[in-house]
């Protein structure tokens, strides 16, 4: 049975543009995380034409003033306000009643933080927890893969991606299983439990896989596996 999180992953890959992400994926993210407000932001497309809005965003997104933004910039990892500051301090930083609880995750393209996913809740709603962060981490991984794939296709000539070979034949069946679980947002510990191997074995396997595929991150690896010519390999892994 397909889980709501997997349906969200599939919806991300069906999006045709960044506008489509905002139109169709943002509401789905908001619903999944029971958020009052939600959004996907790409930093190179923020509407800075409005000077008043620019002043607000310069403060809200400033790593100097906002500990959530600072955590995102430094760690490239999802965070909620409770991890980086006290409720009293957060009320001073962000007094908006519909931003009493916030959670944000990174969108990364080739090692650079290019955007963020944000969710907020009101004071009467429960705070975001560790499970929310784990699920948002998986969502951000897929959004990062989608962003890297789409922007690469826009920036390069059509001929280059077509002739760029994928090295899936270098991965063993076990490594393909690990890659598939990474694409589903599983942590190293969860992968180890599911495949009956130690967490350290998963870490060492990922290092070997990164070298074989000539990538430096989980997102880059999933982007290669998500290419149309490699879907057949993943279908074979799912059947094991």
The CATH class given to the 4-155 domain equals alpha beta
Distance, CA of 41 to CA of 118 (rounded, Å): 8
* pLDDT, tens digit (0-9, with 9 covering 90-100), for 123-165: 999 999 999 999 999 999 999 999 888 877 766 545 444 444 4
How many alpha carbons fall within 13 Å on the CB side of residue 52? 0
* pLDDT, tens digit (0-9, with 9 covering 90-100), for 93-107: 888 888 899 999 999
Task: Write a three-state SS string for 47-114.
Answer: CCCCHHHHHHHHHHCCCCCCHHHHHHHHHCCCEEHHHHCCHHHHHHHCCCHHHCEEEEEEEEECCEEE
- The span from the first CA to the last CA of the chain, in angstroms, equals 17
**Which pTM value belongs to this model?**
0.64
Residue limits of CATH 1.10.10.10 in the chain: 165-238
pLDDT tops 80 at residue 44:
no
3 state SS of 126: coil
Residue limits of CATH 3.30.450.40 in the chain: 4-155
Q: What is the mean pLDDT of residues 38-51?
A: 68
Distance, CA of 168 to CA of 89 (rounded, Å): 49
pLDDT tops 70 at residue 10:
yes
Please count the other Cβ atoms lying within 10 Å of the Cβ belonging to residue 27.
11
Strand order in the sheet with 101-109: 37-42, 112-121, 101-109, 79-80
* pLDDT, tens digit (0-9, with 9 covering 90-100), for 25-35: 999 999 999 99
Q: What is the mean pLDDT of residues 29-48?
A: 83
165-238 has which fold?
Arc Repressor Mutant, subunit A (1.10.10)
Mean pLDDT of the chain: 80
Q: What is the mean pLDDT of residues 169-189?
A: 83
């Amino acid at each position: 049975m397909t889980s709501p999180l997997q349906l969200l992953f599939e919806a991300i890959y069906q999006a045709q543009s960044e506008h489509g992400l905002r139109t169709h994926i943002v509401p789905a993210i908001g619903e999944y995380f029971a958020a009052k407000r939600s959004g996907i932001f790409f930093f190179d497309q923020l509407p800075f034409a409005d000077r008043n809005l620019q002043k607000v965003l310069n403060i809200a997104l400033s790593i100097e003033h906002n500990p959530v933004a600072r955590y995102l910039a430094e760690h490239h990892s999802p965070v909620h306000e409770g991890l980086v500051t006290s409720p009293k301090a957060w009320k001073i930083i962000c007094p908006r009643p519909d931003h009493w609880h916030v959670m944000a995750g990174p969108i990364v393209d080739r090692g650079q933080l290019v955007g963020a996913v944000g969710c907020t809740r009101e004071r009467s709603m429960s705070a975001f927890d560790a499970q929310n962060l784990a699920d948002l981490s998986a969502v951000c991984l897929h959004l990062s893969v989608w962003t890297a794939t789409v922007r690469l296709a826009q920036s390069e000539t059509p001929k280059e991606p077509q002739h760029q070979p994928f090295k899936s034949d270098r991965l063993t069946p076990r490594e393909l299983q690990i890659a598939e679980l990474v694409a589903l947002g599983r942590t190293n510990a969860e992968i180890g439990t599911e495949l009956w191997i130690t967490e350290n074995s998963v870490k060492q396997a990922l290092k070997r896989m990164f070298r074989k595929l000539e990538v430096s991150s989980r997102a880059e690896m999933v982007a290669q596996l998500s290419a149309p010519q490699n879907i057949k390999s993943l279908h074979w892994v799912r059947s094991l």
